[in-house]
Structures are given as C-alpha cells and as structure tokens.
C-alpha cells in the first residue's frame, strides 16, 4: 500500500530513535526519491548519514532541507556540526551564526524559533487529520502553520496540494502563485500551478504555464501529458 509522506517520515523517526540509522535511511531515501519529501525528511536523512559517518552525503541532505526551508533552525545548527566535522571551521561558524539569526526576532507575538517549531507541529497535526480523513481540518492546520512560518515553502506546496484535493482550486492557485514567485525554478510548483489554473477554469493560463515548463524540461512526461490533455479540452 502506498503510504503518505507523513507515515514514511514517522516510521523513519521511529527507526532513528532506536539507532537503526540504516533502516531510517532506507525509508527516507524512498521518500526523497518519490519527490514528496519535505524539509524534515531531508534533515533527518542528513542526521542519519552523519551518524554512520557519511559526512558529505549528510551535508548534501541538510542543504536540501535548507533549500526548502531556509529558516530551519535545527538544520542550520546541524549544518554547522557537519561542516566542522569536515574541517571547514569558517563555514561552520557562519552556519551557527545563521542559526542564531534565524532564531532571533519574533513572529506572531513569540520568538521566531518557537514559531518555527510550532509551524512544523501544526503541519504534523495537519497530516494526522488528513490521514484520519478530515481533509478540511488538515487544511486548517497547514494554514495555521504558514501564518507562523510564511517562508516555509515546502508547507505551502503541501497546503496547495491539499486544497486541490479538496476541490478548492482558486485557493490552491493563490498559494501556488506565492510559491512560484518565491521559487520560480521549481518544476513541481509550476506544474501544480498549471493544474490549479486548469481546475479553476483558466485553461489559457494553464496552457501558458505548462508550455513554458515543457520548453525548460522537454523530457518531463507529466507536462507533455498535461499539454496533450489540453488539446482536447474546451477553452
């Protein structure tokens, strides 16, 4: 049975908790290969690599987590640890400084690092609601997460996919437009935005988005399928 990303991540956390790093890596690598991994999965994969002595791979995984969530406090701190272990003290110090900066200030009336942690907890609760079949409540939790962590673009993408699943294409489009503005090179975000436009009845915008993406990624079979579908779709 195909498991949700949240279920795979939870299983990986359980393996990590009992020091089964290779078991956790197996689950996390499958999750990453599926293209559905969020920042938490990449970060945990980095920790697992570090614990088995694969420091270069650990750094790559942590960097992927930070690409998805640049304010990920724990990932910034662990990046410093890995860089120090690799013999790069100046870069390690810069990562520790970035971690302190990420935790400074406040958001929503609370310190930023607390807001970041709560944002991730809201997202985890949202996944639990979705797993239980309460899609609307799951969406509410992701919306709460983004109020606390508005730069957490991996959570924004997840919210948009849930909105699409709920038939709320216009709301999904709004979230995806923000995501594409923040990450214009994200093929996943651009493809999903085209889908939101199509489902909202804006076929010309969907065609423009997918045609541009097909030009950038001519080998992407998914985008070719979308465009083939539009050839039969009414305006």
**Cβ(146)–Cβ(160) under 8 Å?**
no
Note the maximum CA span of the chain.
60
The pLDDT of residue 222 is 81
pLDDT at 7 over 70: yes
- Tell me the three state secondary structure of residue 106: strand
Dist. CA 30–CA 9, nearest whole Å:
10
Q: What is the pLDDT of residues 28-78, one digit of tens each?
A: 998 888 877 788 889 999 999 999 999 999 999 999 999 888 878 788 889
- 104 pLDDT more than 80: no
What CA–CA distance (Å, rounded) separates 176 from 38?
A: 16
Q: Where are the domains of the chain?
A: 5-102, 106-166, 179-235
What one-character DSSP code corresponds to residue 201? T
pLDDT at 103 over 80: no
Class of domain 106-166 (CATH, top level): mainly alpha
Averaged pLDDT score across all residues of the chain: 87
More confident residue, 221 or 121: 121
Provide the pLDDT for residue 109. Answer: 58
Q: What does each C-alpha distance from 221 to 104, 189, 191, 212, 214 come to in angstroms?
A: 44, 16, 12, 14, 9
Q: Is the CB of residue 193 less than 8 Å from the CB of residue 180?
A: yes
Percent of the chain with pLDDT over 90: 50
- The string of pLDDT tens digits covering residues 120-130 is 899 999 999 99
Q: Is 111 helix (H, G, I), strand (E, B) or coil?
A: strand
107: β partners: 110
Judged against a pLDDT cut of 80, whether residue 27 lies above it is answered with yes
Q: Is the pLDDT of residue 194 over 80?
A: yes
pLDDT on residue 105: 55
Architecture label for domain 5-102: Alpha Horseshoe (1.25)
DSSP structural state of residue 110: E
pTM: 0.62
Question: For residue 212, what pLDDT band results from cuts at 50, 70 and 90?
Answer: very high
Above 60 in pLDDT, residue 106? no
State the Cα–Cα distance between residues 180 and 193, nearest whole angstrom. 8
Q: Are 163 and 171 in contact (CB under 8 A)?
A: yes
Q: What is the dihedral of CA 73, 104, 178, 118, to 10 degrees?
A: 60
Fold match, 5-102 / 106-166: yes
- How far is 72 from 88, CA to CA, in rounded Å? 21
């Amino acid at each position: 049975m195909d498991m949700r990303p949240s279920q795979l991540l939870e299983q990986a956390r359980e393996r990590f908790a009992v020091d089964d790093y290779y078991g956790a890596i197996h689950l996390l690598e499958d999750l990453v290969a599926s293209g559905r991994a969020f920042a938490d999965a990449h970060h945990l994969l980095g920790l697992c690599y570090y614990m088995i002595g694969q420091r270069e791979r650990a750094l790559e995984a942590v960097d992927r987590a930070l690409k998805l969530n640049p304010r990920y406090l724990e990932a910034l701190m662990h990046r410093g640890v890995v860089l120090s272990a690799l013999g790069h003290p100046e870069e390690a110090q810069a990562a520790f400084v970035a971690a302190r900066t990420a935790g400074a200030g406040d958001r929503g009336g609370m310190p930023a690092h607390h807001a970041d942690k709560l944002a991730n907890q809201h997202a985890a609760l949202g996944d639990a609601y979705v797993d239980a079949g309460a899609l609307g409540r799951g969406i509410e939790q992701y919306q709460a997460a983004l109020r606390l962590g508005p730069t957490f673009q991996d959570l924004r993408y997840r919210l948009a996919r849930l909105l699409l699943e709920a038939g709320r294409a216009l709301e999904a489009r709004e979230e995806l437009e923000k995501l594409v503005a923040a990450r214009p090179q994200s093929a996943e975000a651009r493809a999903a935005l085209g889908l939101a436009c199509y489902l909202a009845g804006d076929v010309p915008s969907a065609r423009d988005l997918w045609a541009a993406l097909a030009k950038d990624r001519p080998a992407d079979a998914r985008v070719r399928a979308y465009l083939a579908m539009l050839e039969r779709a009414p305006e």
